[in-house]
Amino acid sequence: MVKYAIVTDLNRCVGCLACMVSCKVANSVPVGNYWNKVLRIGPTLKKDAKSAHDVEMYYLTVQCQHCDRPECVKVCPTGASHKREDGTVQIDKSKCIGCQFCVMACPYNVRYLNKDEGVVEKCTLCEQIIAQGGLPQCVIQCGGRARFFGDLEKGIETFEAPAVGDKTDRGYDTLYTGNRISLKDLVKGYTAEDIHQLPDVGNVPSFCYILRNRTWQGGDK
């Protein structure tokens, strides 16, 4: 079984918002709505802070987590929200009636109603691109090489991103065909204790976050 997901190294993320902007451009997301949000966590006092200036912070990217047991799929009355064999959660717009049950059921607040079309939308993990062997746009455009895409069944160390310094065209209307680098080769110095996920309320989120030497505040413990 394939189980596509994204792993983000939060220590490498610089909060440039390239993932958020590229997602909006590539998917024509309406003004005021986002498929991918970048949240600033902190500044907060470090665990052993000795002064008010001894603080830490990081940026947390939040989007559809393409869960193992998605609550949105459970509550959808028409079957519009469904889980594919590649592990992603998708929306069949031809079946969506805009009831927004899925919006209310999502624990991460990452779905919204497209009022012009009368249907709910969210991150698709760029299914039109990954089906051709490509990488999601948010991974391609990440300036800090903090985001990696791959199959969880093969382990996060196999996840890939565009190679650092690769000059291949990374435009929104092209399939990235340049060199890639694996998470194993680029991300160093983390342990199993540094791997986190967003809160699990029975939905089992698929996306992972790596955070070293800072206090995780995502609420998964």
pLDDT tens track for 82-96:
999 999 999 999 999
Q: Specify burial of residue 95 (Cβ count, 10 A radius: 0-12, 13-18, 19+).
A: middle
Integer Cα distance of 83 and 42 in angstroms: 34
Residue 220, in any domain of the structure: no
CATH of the domain at 147: 3.30.70.20
For residue 58, which of 192, 219, 216 has the smallest C-alpha distance? 216
The percent of residues in the chain predicted with pLDDT above 70, rounded, is: 95
Structure tokens at 100: 């927004």
Q: How far is CA 159 from the centre of its chain?
A: 13
Integer Cα distance of 198 and 149 in angstroms: 17
For residue 123, which of 16, 33, 32, 8 has the smallest C-alpha distance? 33
Structure tokens at 180: 């890639």
| Mean local confidence (pLDDT), 84-112 | 97
Please write the tens of the pLDDT for every residue from 112-162.
Answer: 999 999 999 999 999 999 999 999 999 999 989 999 999 999 999 999 999
More confident residue, 17 or 1: 17
Residue 218, in any domain of the structure: no
Q: Specify burial of residue 81 (Cβ count, 10 A radius: 0-12, 13-18, 19+).
A: buried
Residue 22 has phi, psi (to 5 degrees) of: -65, -35
Residue 221, in any domain of the structure: no
Which residue segment(s) compose the domain that 185 sits in? 4-210
User: Considering its fold, how many domains does the chain have in total?
Assistant: 1
Host H or E run for residue 196: strand 195-196
Residue 168, in any domain of the structure: yes
Residue 217, in any domain of the structure: no
Q: Which pTM value belongs to this model?
A: 0.93
Assess contact for 189 and 201: CB atoms under 8 A.
Answer: no
Tokens 């047991």 belong to residue:
69
Lowest mean pLDDT among 68-77, 96-105, 160-169: 160-169
Residue 123, in any domain of the structure: yes
